Amino acid sequence: MPKKALAVISFGTTYPEARKAIQNLEEQLAAARPEYDFYRAFTSNMVIRKIKREEGITIPTPEELLARLAAEGYEEVICQSLHVIPGYEYEKMCAQITAFTGSFSRLEIGKPLLWQTADYLRICRGMLSHLPKLQADEAIVFMGHGTEHPSNASYALLENTFRFSGAERTYVCTVEGFPNFDYALRRLHRHEVSKVYLAPFMIVAGDHAQNDLAGDGDGDGSWRSILESEGYGVNVLMEGLGTYPETAKIFMEHLPE
């Protein structure tokens, strides 16, 4: 029997509690391919170094993992990305993996969460079934990571998909791209909203969610503190996408057969 491996690859997070969202997805993907040996890799070198320094845990990069699998005689390897969009991190991962094409008889890569229209429709409708039903003066603002990569347009499509799914006062902004938080503030003012739910649109509720989204210090510049300073009531929903059942279902559909 040929040796087979499933590599589940994410950006990673330095927050152990938030890492449970990654573990949840990994466990479901591994259960879907019981004939494959499971392995984890992270694409963020900064995250890998900090976990090693603070927790004594060594997590490989995709390159390190594939080199190990080749050395151990694996013949078939399927890699499933846990990235949200096909941006720079996803492309970096793909380049690292494809460099090992000649090392295995089979090497395939699964798509990120948001790849085709059906993925957007499914995640929006699925999340709405778990989120609070908004009153007339309420709105929800999601925080995406954002990027200079053209795939940043995914966030605008995501917001429009929420709206198409019946969630009119649902806004998607990013930390490192456009639309930024100023966009949400303008929409909230225009629609006379008084209470705002904040939630990460990221696999984990890690550093950006804990600090940029939900930080509660005066003048810390977090979205929460800005809203509260302007008189909004704020409720933070600190759940990463990895905890939603629909997220796992989409990734399992993207997992190579």
> What is the arithmetic mean of pLDDT over 103-114?
98
* Separation in Å, CA 33 to CA 75, 83, 211, 244: 16, 20, 36, 20
| Tens digit of each residue's pLDDT (9 = 90 or more) over 111-130 | 999 999 999 999 999 999 99
- Residue 215's pLDDT band, with cuts at 50, 70 and 90, is confident
Catalytic residue among 145, 149, 189, 254: 145
DSSP 3-state of 114: coil
Is the pLDDT assigned to residue 216 strictly greater than 90?
no
> What is the arithmetic mean of pLDDT over 213-221?
75
- Residue 192's pLDDT band, with cuts at 50, 70 and 90, is confident
Percent over 90 (pLDDT), the chain: 92
> What is the arithmetic mean of pLDDT over 200-225?
87
Is the pLDDT assigned to residue 218 strictly greater than 80?
no
Helix pair angle (62-71, 88-98), 10° resolution:
20
| Tens digit of each residue's pLDDT (9 = 90 or more) over 154-182 | 999 999 999 999 999 999 999 999 999 99
H-helix or E-strand containing 154?
Answer: helix 154-164
> Cβ distance 181 to 204 under 8 Å?
no
Percent over 70 (pLDDT), the chain: 98
> What is the arithmetic mean of pLDDT over 150-157?
96
> What is the arithmetic mean of pLDDT over 175-193?
92
Residue 130 annotated among the catalytic residues of the structure: no
- Residue 219's pLDDT band, with cuts at 50, 70 and 90, is low
DSSP 3-state of 234: strand
> What is the arithmetic mean of pLDDT over 222-244?
94
| Tens digit of each residue's pLDDT (9 = 90 or more) over 45-82 | 999 999 999 999 999 999 999 999 999 999 999 999 99
Q: What is the 3-state secondary structure (H, E, C) of 2-14?
A: CCEEEEEEECCCC
> What is the arithmetic mean of pLDDT over 125-137?
92
| Tens digit of each residue's pLDDT (9 = 90 or more) over 11-36 | 999 999 999 999 999 999 999 999 99
